[in-house]
Amino acid sequence: MRRNHEIDYRIFGEEMQCVEIELDPQETVMAESGSFMFMDDGIEMETVFGDGSQQSGGIFGKLMGAGKRLLTGESLFMTAFTNTGFNKSRVTFAGPYAGKIMPLDLQQLGGKVICQKDSYLCAAKGVSVGIEFQRKLGTGLFGGEGFIMQKLEGDGLAFVHAGGHVMEKELRAGEFLRIDTGCIVAFTSGIDYDIQMVRGVKNALFGGEGLFFAVLRGPGKVWLQSLPVSRLASKILSYGAPGGRREEGSILGGLGNILDGDGF
């Protein structure tokens, strides 16, 4: 038996996805601010402190839960969508940019998943959205996500959003992957997260991949994204900057832009 609300869902779309949550009477889904798309008649929304999982502890407990969200850069508030009718009703949420929506059944994943900040989209009521501190100094300083990541705990369904295509990797005990720090979406609690410096002066200075890899070591599951939003934003900014060129990495890039009619 699950302690968290049981919800059904369907995911629509390919690269610009949305997730439709089907709620039985009195079931609730908790969503991040700004993710709502549309809902059926019979769904009531309510803004609440924190993630809605704090059932006891009074105002102090709720403030603690909300304060954890501030540390991950999120709002103090979340929105609860509850089916107050007598029939099944649906509410739909959309990802903030091109990518994939990943359903995570926490009951089947050991009750805990650690994910990057800003990836959380929505979850069944009762799922706790907290913080996970990186205990290793190097990982916190150079791991790309800082000292604080999001932590999803419970036995219900949670949904996170990732950029581009998502790959799931199963790592056996002792098996590891070296990963670009921005490409990590989430991993289960058994995964050890560390960083490793890129070998070779030329690789570090001119490789264009930064000075550090993230190293994830099993056992456990890892989810990776092909297009981190930071990489997407950087590319857009470089195109919009004065003097930006589409072929900036090419010796003939400037000539190509002139031939295209872009001028100097």
Return the pLDDT at 56.
Answer: 46
- Residue 166 has which token pair? 């998502």
b/e per residue, 202-224, with b = 16+ CB within 10 A?
Answer: eeeeeeeeeebbbbbbbebbbbb
Closest CA to 147 of 161, 157, 159, 133: 133
Q: Are 145 and 58 spatial neighbours (Cβ–Cβ below 8 Å)? A: no
Return the pLDDT at 254.
Answer: 47
Q: What is the pLDDT along the chain (264 residues), one digit of tens a residue?
A: 788 998 999 999 988 899 999 999 999 999 988 899 999 999 999 988 766 665 444 555 555 555 555 555 556 688 999 999 999 999 999 998 889 999 999 999 999 999 988 899 999 999 988 888 765 544 444 444 445 788 999 999 999 999 999 999 999 999 999 998 889 999 999 999 888 876 544 444 444 455 678 899 999 999 999 998 877 777 788 776 565 554 444 444 444 443 344 444
- Residue 189 has which token pair? 């609690």
Return the pLDDT at 249.
Answer: 44
Report the DSSP pairing between strands 112-115 and 99-105: unpaired
CATH architecture of 8-230: 4-Layer Sandwich (3.60)
Q: Are 5 and 125 spatial neighbours (Cβ–Cβ below 8 Å)? A: yes
Report domain extents, the chain. Answer: 8-230
